[in-house]
Amino acid sequence: MADLSGGKYAAYIWPAYGVTALVFAGLIVSSLWHARRWRGRARRSGGR
Amino acid sequence: MVAAPAFLANPERFMAFSRWAAPMFGIIAAVLGIAGLYLGWTAPDDYQQGATVRIMFIHVPAAWMSLFVYFCLGVASLLALVFRHVLADAAAQAAAPLGAGFTFLALVTGSLWGRPMWGAWWVWDARLTSVLVLFLFYIAYIALRASIDDEAKAGRAAAILALVGLVNLPIVHFSVDWWNTLHQGASVFRLGGPTLATVYLWPLLLMGLAYMAAFGSLWLVRIRGEVWRRRAEAAVLRAARA
């Protein structure tokens, strides 16, 4: 079974996983937003 | 190996390929990431480091990717400089924010691992300092591109900066061999094979592949965005001239 408590080091382990999740979420959202934004503009301006 | 870049150098072929490859890499990253995290969290605590060994599964792949992405940035910059290929320039531009993100993660998770193990959030040893310099190269690349209005000039200036920064990659990798550092030496990619216990090696390799697939997916998405941006701006210019 997975031990999710982290024991006495939880104060270091969970922030490390938290910041990793946040950075990944930021990279995913910004990448998709950037692509969607410019795809829309390219189509509206006739740039395919 | 040479055929793949040549095939993808055509923007139309690249857009057709990346349309299905980007989500496919994303799915692979999610599956490998879930498997790696499961194995990592069910592995026993390390006899010396205790539960902090779990930080390794997110810290080490981020550190690997910080070097790999910069290498990709350097190769794309070289191709953009030599052949003036628009897609290579877009690939370099798209890689920089991703590499900065991975390097930031390597620094922050390394600090959170170092505090309980070394008793310090940060030490100015060769490995940590050279990774910080790598992060600054990413930031400088992004800032330089953003500071020059002429896209061609911005691309060339940033490409030269990226090539200069390639010198730092062997320094980061070999820093633990060339100098006495608090940071441990290589334990996976080393002559004589990995020294890491199998119970930690497998989840680490799975997480490494997950990070690699995630980078592949996000890089393709960002390059697609760059291609559309350049097409939209070219269309606006054409309309203004008409």
Query: Tens digit of pLDDT for each residue in B100-134?
Result: 999 999 999 999 999 999 999 999 999 999 999 99
Kindly state the percentage of chain B with pLDDT values over 70.
96
If you measure CA to CA, which chain B residue comes closest to A11? B112
pLDDT > 70? residue B150:
yes
Mutate to test the interface with B, among A1, A14, A23, A44 (most CBs of B within 10 A): A23
Q: In chain B, which residues have their Cβ closer than 8 Å to the Cβ of A9?
A: 50-52, 116
A16-25 confidence digits (pLDDT tens): 999 999 999 9
Task: Reduce the DSSP state of residue B50 to 3 states and report it.
Answer: strand
Give the pLDDT mean for B138-156.
95
Q: In chain A, which residues have their Cβ closer than 8 Å to the Cβ of B106?
A: none
Q: In this predicted model, which residue has the larger pLDDT, B53 or B7?
A: B53
Give the pLDDT mean for B80-84.
92
Encode chain A in three state secondary structure: CCCCCCHHHHHHHHHHHHHHHHHHHHHHHHHHHHHHHHHHHHHHCCCC
> Can you give the pLDDT at residue B1?
44
The pTM of the full predicted model, rounded to 2 decimals, is: 0.92
Give the pLDDT mean for B233-241.
84
Q: In chain A, which residues have their Cβ closer than 8 Å to the Cβ of B101?
A: 23, 26-27
Interface residues of chain B, partner chain A, Cβ below 8 Å: 38, 41-42, 45, 50-52, 54-55, 58-59, 62, 97-98, 101, 104-105, 108-109, 112-113, 115-116, 214, 218, 221-222, 224-226, 228-229, 231-232, 234-236, 239
B206-234 confidence digits (pLDDT tens): 999 999 999 999 999 999 999 999 999 88
> Can you give the pLDDT at residue B177?
85
- Asked if B105 and B138 count as a contact pair (C-beta separation under 8 A), the reply is no
pLDDT > 70? residue A2:
no
> Can you give the pLDDT at residue B242?
76
Give the pLDDT mean for B72-84.
95
Give the pLDDT mean for B163-187.
87
Strand locations in B7-130 (E): none
**Six-digit token pair at B184?**
């441990």
Instruction: Calculate how close chain A gets to B76, using CA atoms only, in Å.
Output: 19
At A26, is the pLDDT very low, low, confident or very high (cuts 50, 70, 90)?
A: very high
| Residues 8-47 (A) with a CB less than 8 A from some CB of B | 8-10, 12-13, 15-17, 19-20, 23-24, 26-28, 30-32, 34-39, 41-42, 44-47
Kindly state the percentage of chain B with pLDDT values over 90.
72
Nearest alpha carbon to residue A29 among B97, B66, B76: B97
> Can you give the pLDDT at residue B183?
82
At B3, is the pLDDT very low, low, confident or very high (cuts 50, 70, 90)?
A: low
Q: CB under 8 Å to B157, separation ≥6 — which residues?
A: B144, B145, B148
pLDDT > 90? residue A8:
no
If you measure CA to CA, which chain A residue comes closest to B217? A28
Instruction: Calculate how close chain A gets to B144, using CA atoms only, in Å.
Output: 20
How many Å apart are CA B239 and CA A5, to the nearest integer? Answer: 60
pLDDT > 90? residue A47:
no
